[in-house]
Structure 1
Amino acid sequence: MKRTAVNPWDWSIKLGYNQAEMIEGAARQVICAGQTAVDGEGTPQDPGDMRAQISLALDNLEAVLKGAGLDLSNVVKLGIYATDVDEALKNFDLIGIRFDPYRVIPPMTLLGVTRLAIPGLLFEIEATAAA
């Protein structure tokens, strides 16, 4: 699979994402449901702690990708939902920490929402991956 960043401007790179990526030669695609800060039983964890919830949601995303035989290097698009965008952005370094070793900065969208499906959850991340 070949990835080519498409950035008519460079401002988004400074924020940690590409405007677009052209994907060529991918043999399969995996669409991941939104991952949140829940344990293996689906019980919400870390109430009120955005940083801990982002970290656990990323752990869960990595587990789903691993189950499909992929990892974060295969992520080609992220959708992120947060009940407090400012608080999420304060902790966005966690996304860079996870993705930087793979040298990918997938296109992403961050949306502020009034709540998530399960009360107490503050952050949800969905991904599209290709291999």
Structure 2
Amino acid sequence: MEKRTINPWKWQNERSYVQAVEVIKAEGTLYVSGQTATDSYGISSKEDMKSQLIQTIANLEKVIHEAGYECENIVRLNVYTISTDELFGCFDVFQNWITKHNIKQASTLIEVKSLFDTLKIELEATVVK
């Protein structure tokens, strides 16, 4: 599999995403449902945004690894949150995770009216192999 990022500008680099990702000769594509801060019993977290973001990332990693894929091959990552203000208050957690795995993904951030139950953030990914 080959990946190529397309960035006609530099400003997006500080925001931890790329404008586009081209994938050539992929062996497989994994479409991951939105992952949230739920425990192994499906109980939603009532914690703050930072705690929920950490748990959401852990859940996303678990699904990706269980499927035999790697986080570094995330090519699309959509972020849904009930509060961009709260998310930006702990955005370093997200950026550090992106940097740790050298993820270069196309991304969309959407503030929504609500998520299921007490959830504050949801991450939806596409991963290639």
TM-score band by shorter chain is over 0.9
- TM (norm. structure 1) is 0.94
- 1:2 shift after superposition: 1.4
The question of whether the paired residues in 1 share the 8 Å contact of 2:16 and 2:98 is answered with: no
Per-residue CA deviations over 1:21-71 (Å, capped at 9, x if unaligned) read 1111211000000000000111012x2500000000000000000111012
Query: What is the root-mean-square deviation in Å for CA atoms of aligned residues?
Result: 1.0
**Take 1:79 and 1:15, find their aligned partners in 2: how far apart are those partners?**
13
- Taking the TM superposition and a 5 Å limit, the aligned residue runs for 1:18-33 are 18-33=18-33
* Count of paired positions: 129
Q: Structure 1 regions of 5+ residues with no counterpart?
A: none
The aligned residue for residue 115 of structure 1 is: 114
Q: Structure 1 stretches (4+) deviating beyond 3 angstroms?
A: none
Identity %: 32
- 1:122 shift after superposition: 0.4
- TM (norm. structure 2) is 0.95
Q: Structure 2 regions of 5+ residues with no counterpart?
A: none
The aligned residue for residue 124 of structure 2 is: 126
**Take 1:106 and 1:91, find their aligned partners in 2: how far apart are those partners?**
19
Cα 1:42–1:62 change in 2 (3 A) is same
